[in-house]
Chains A and B, each alone.
Chain A
Amino acid sequence: DAGITQSPRHKVTETGTPVTLRCHQTENHRYMYWYRQDPGHGLRLIHYSYGVKDTDKGEVSDGYSVSRSKTEDFLLTLESATSSQTSVYFCAINPGQTNTEAFFGQGTRLTVV
């Protein structure tokens, strides 16, 4: 398995609280991504990073922010969690060349009550 670890694996939080999910990689890959998975939608891109301090929005970025201060860590923050953000969150990494596969973490199941 690619060296990619998500933490926590499960979290229950209350509406309105801030939440931070962490993705850690040991592959020194340039690109890192946060996706969310919801029934009937497959995976949708939230934010991604193409280098330290270089990030950009995906298709469902509202209500989320990210930071990447080191190559190995990519943080996803829900500033004020809402019930619509209940989902399974996946981090992925990619070395950055065209036509290369992505490697996914095991996911974080987040429930907002």
Chain B
Amino acid sequence: SQQGEEDPQALSIQEGENATMNCSYKTSINNLQWYRQNSGRGLVHLILIRSNEREKHSGRLRVTLDTSKKSSSLLITASRAADTASYFCATAAGVRGKLQFGAGTQVVVTP
């Protein structure tokens, strides 16, 4: 079963616009992570937010976490064509680092 559910499934925007995607999950977590996957490639870690954190920034990325609603959002500001990729949220619980992934959001940024 998937822990994370992502919304929207697909997103098409123009360069310079912001992209927002959401992730909901079902059980208690230690942290929530966001990964990016370019077509045909492996996953690249973007940002990790711990369960006791509410917001985190990294460059053009902003992640929020609301544990009461069991939801997170990823905002990419001033998007670029190079941001075209699939974005996955993943939750971690327990001590062995196992991740449960959502189905992902496919983002297309048009020049």
Cβ–Cβ contact B30 & A98, under 8 A = yes
Number of interface residues of A (CB under 8 A): 28
Chain B positions near chain A (C-beta within 8 angstroms): 1-2, 4, 30-31, 33, 35, 41-45, 48, 50, 88, 90, 92, 95-104
Q: Which of B31, B41, B96, B102 contacts A42 (CB 8 A)?
A: B102
Q: A40-B103, A41-B2 are in contact. Are A33 and B45 (CB under 8 A)?
A: no
What would 7 A/B residue contacts be, using CB atoms closer than 8 Å?
A45-B98, A48-B98, A58-B98, A59-B1, A90-B43, A98-B95, A106-B42
Kindly state the separation between the CA atoms of A51 and B99 in the bound complex, as whole angstroms. Answer: 17
The answer to whether A101 touches B33, judged by C-beta atoms less than 8 angstroms apart, is yes
Closest to A91 in B: B42
- Is A74's beta carbon under 8 Å from chain B? no
A33 — nearest CB in chain B belongs to which residue?
Answer: B98
